[in-house]
Amino acid sequence: MSYKIIGDSCTDLPKHLKEDQHFKLVPLTLIVDQHTIVDDETYNQAEFLRLVKESPNSPKSACPSPQDYMREFEYDGEIFVVTLSSNLSGSYESAELAKRLYLEEHPDKKIEIIDSRSASVGQTLITLKIKEFMENGIPFEHAVEKIRAFRDSLKTKFVLETLDTLRKNGRLTGIQAIICSALNIKPIMAATPEGAICKLDQARGIVKALVSMAKAIEQDVLKPRERILGIAHCNNYERALFVKDEILKRVPFKDVFIVDSAGVTSMYANEGGIVVAY
């Protein structure tokens, strides 16, 4: 079956999927002061994190244009697009506009745009499920229904090492950030069913926060033996391994993968941040 899975660059793919001919990532652009960074194979994580740390301003992102997506629609097969949550980025709306414009000239083309209502490895898990359905020969319309149901069952959680980005972009006051930093308080965050961000809990110290996240996963996961656990880390593989061990000793997931975060996830998670989805 001929199919193509397009993700925006917040989709943190393992190496083998980056090399899979069925997958294509469309980059967002990151902006730190006067610096513009394309979130593609040229992205330099260390340089980006340095720029973010040194800047008093919040980093920003610009979503792909409709034309960026439309170029990828020039393919003889079925198309699936998975985007960063529409509550966090305009990537979904851009992809939807691209679909409408493309279908005006190619009305028989099969294209589905999926708002992940998540980010990072949440998006990755959706792309993996699409690949599974396509390889099993599930018809396009039926696959779309099953993918949306899978998306609605996904859960995403994350723990931040630093609150600097939240402070810079106005989601946390300077006073709150100073207090949390002074007390070494780390928030445990999650995606809501609508794809917004909410705070679940907090803990003193990164280790306690990560253990609390593992316990929260143990409490709300459904049918873990049928699920894959995805873990993304921002420049801290050892921490990702710790999280993996803490979760797997509590929950028997079918499989697990770990990826280093690309640019968009790094912008949100900042250095040392951990994102999990299941």
The pLDDT tens digits for 26-44 are 999 999 999 999 999 999 9
pLDDT value of position 187: 86
Homologous superfamily assigned to 3-28+63-153? Dihydroxyacetone kinase; domain 1 (3.40.50.10440)
Joined together, the tokens standing for residue 27 give 């980059």
CA 44 to chain centroid, in Å, comes to 18
The average pLDDT across 45-71 equals: 95
Question: Which pLDDT belongs to residue 250?
Answer: 98
User: Can you say whether residue 248 is alpha, beta or left, with left for phi > 0 and alpha for psi between -120 and 50 degrees?
Assistant: alpha
The per-residue pLDDT for 213 is 98
Encode pLDDT of 173-201 as tens digits. Answer: 544 544 556 567 898 999 999 999 888 99
208 pLDDT more than 80: yes
Q: 70: which DSSP letter?
A: H
Domain boundaries, the chain: 3-28+63-153, 156-277
252 token code pair: 């028997």
Average pLDDT over residues 141-161: 96
Assign 16 a pLDDT band (cuts: 50, 70, 90).
Answer: very high
Q: How many CB atoms lie within 10 A of CB 223?
A: 8
Q: What is the mean pLDDT of residues 13-17?
A: 95
Helices 121-135 and 140-153, packing angle to 10 deg? 150
Q: What is the DSSP letter of 139?
A: -
How high does pLDDT run on average in the chain? 93
Whole-number percent of the chain with pLDDT over 90: 86
- What integer is the mean pLDDT of 77-106? 97
Q: Is the pLDDT of residue 166 over 70?
A: no
Instruction: Determine the CATH number of domain 156-277.
Output: 3.30.1180.10
- Whole-prediction pTM value? 0.93
